[in-house]
Amino acid sequence: MSSVRLLVGTRKGAFILTSDGKRERWEVGGPFFAGWEMYHLKGSPVDPNRLYASQTSGWFGQTVQRSDDGGATWTPVGNKFAYDGVAGTHQWYDGTAHPWEFKRVWHLEPSVADPDVVFAGVEDAALFRSSDGGANWEELAGLRGHGTGPRWQPGAGGMCLHTIIQDPANLERMYIAISAAGAFRTDDGGRNWKPINKGLVSNFMPDPTAEVGHCVHHVAMHRSRPEVLFMQKHWDVMRSDDGGESWQEVSGNLPTDFGFVIDVHAHQPETLYVVPIKSDSEHFPPEGKLRVYRSRTGGNEWEPLSNGLPQKDCYVNVLRDAMSVDSLDECGVYFGTTGGQVYASPDSGDHWTPIVRDLPAVLSVEAQTLA
């Protein structure tokens, strides 16, 4: 029988939540790496027992952990993230030039083709690749070096590369996103990159439609349609039907189009999920009601999903990597909150239940569907 494994990264450790395919009863494993900030854990699509985890600390810096047995045991692997050549500068908050400095790994994306290949999105923004299971890391320097890097600037959470999407039909093509620089695409396996931000409007910028500088929060893609991208920007939910060449706003009837997460249903590529957050000044749900919004039309028309979610006095946030879907016949949807709850819906969002209520603040949730 199929089962589901959720990899949950929190401010104070990692947890692994497991259930059979009914997704009614869950086992909570952990904490792993107790006390460390676990920004992200993700399993290889090729070998689901191969997991990678970003373990970080203000005291001890960055470590990367790897498991070859589905999280039962872990081994520290390489943690040397050296920028290629002269690191150069980007814009600081006050507009001055600031040297690139490695801080942490925000996101680990295992290759869709090879379990030993994994990509790391880091702060200060850069993309690294390992081809030996995380032992050694090499920067794909064409991203920072393509020309706009000196104009990138940090968002409030730091200048992080947080989204890495591989085109499963064309391994030469990848998309990444940086806060606050925007989205970028490579068509040659990471050697050359171009900004793909046409159509984004960010009114906080001197030029609201500038080539770079947009605070992209997250991007999602359905593997069956790699040309179609969905974006939760700082403000605005956006859609591209041409591989990011152009974007159109699809915020439609959302109560607020600020938020962090966005994800796509496993079997319905026009079904999207977001969690609207009141504003960039007030990082909690509008009216104290935690609601996931679902669109079955690829955006613009949204319905609130609240069955089983707190509808009173709820002031948590849902961070950019903290939503995921499984690929069982009835798609499961999962998200974690800064209040330490992890919610599950086994029926595409119609009904929600908390798997666990009192974890540390959740940074990331990744679902694995196991045979």
Q: How far is the CB of 363 from another protein (least distance, A)?
A: 15
Q: How far is the CB of 59 from another protein (least distance, A)?
A: 4
Q: How far is the CB of 43 from another protein (least distance, A)?
A: 21
Give 82 or 97: the residue with its C-beta nearer to another protein: 82
Q: How far is the CB of 57 from another protein (least distance, A)?
A: 7
Give 102 or 335: the residue with its C-beta nearer to another protein: 102
Amino acid at site 286: P
Give 82 or 169: the residue with its C-beta nearer to another protein: 82
Half-sphere exposure at residue 34, Cβ-oriented, CA atoms within 13 angstroms = 4
Give 63 or 307: the residue with its C-beta nearer to another protein: 63
Give 76 or 147: the residue with its C-beta nearer to another protein: 76
Give 46 or 87: the residue with its C-beta nearer to another protein: 87
CA dist., res. 272 & res. 348, Å (int): 10
Give 57 or 279: the residue with its C-beta nearer to another protein: 57
CA dist., res. 301 & res. 310, Å (int): 23
Give 101 or 301: the residue with its C-beta nearer to another protein: 101
Structure tokens, 96: 């001055």
Give 59 or 207: the residue with its C-beta nearer to another protein: 59
Give 122 or 212: the residue with its C-beta nearer to another protein: 122
* Residue 59 burial (C-beta neighbours within 10 Å; 0-12, 13-18, 19+): exposed
Q: How far is the CB of 200 from another protein (least distance, A)?
A: 35
List of residues contacting another protein (CB under 8 A): 33-36, 57-63, 76, 79-82, 102
* Residue 361 burial (C-beta neighbours within 10 Å; 0-12, 13-18, 19+): middle
Q: How far is the CB of 12 from another protein (least distance, A)?
A: 9
Q: How far is the CB of 88 from another protein (least distance, A)?
A: 15
* Beta carbons within 8 Å of 282's beta carbon, 6+ residues apart: none
Q: How far is the CB of 123 from another protein (least distance, A)?
A: 15
Q: What's 221-275 look like in SS3?
A: ECCCCCCCEEEEECECEEEECCCCCCCEECCCCCCCCEEEEEEECCCCCCCEEEE
Q: How far is the CB of 371 from another protein (least distance, A)?
A: 32
What's the CA angle centered on 139, arms 184 and 63, to 5 degrees?
Answer: 110
CA dist., res. 267 & res. 371, Å (int): 17
Q: How far is the CB of 53 from another protein (least distance, A)?
A: 13
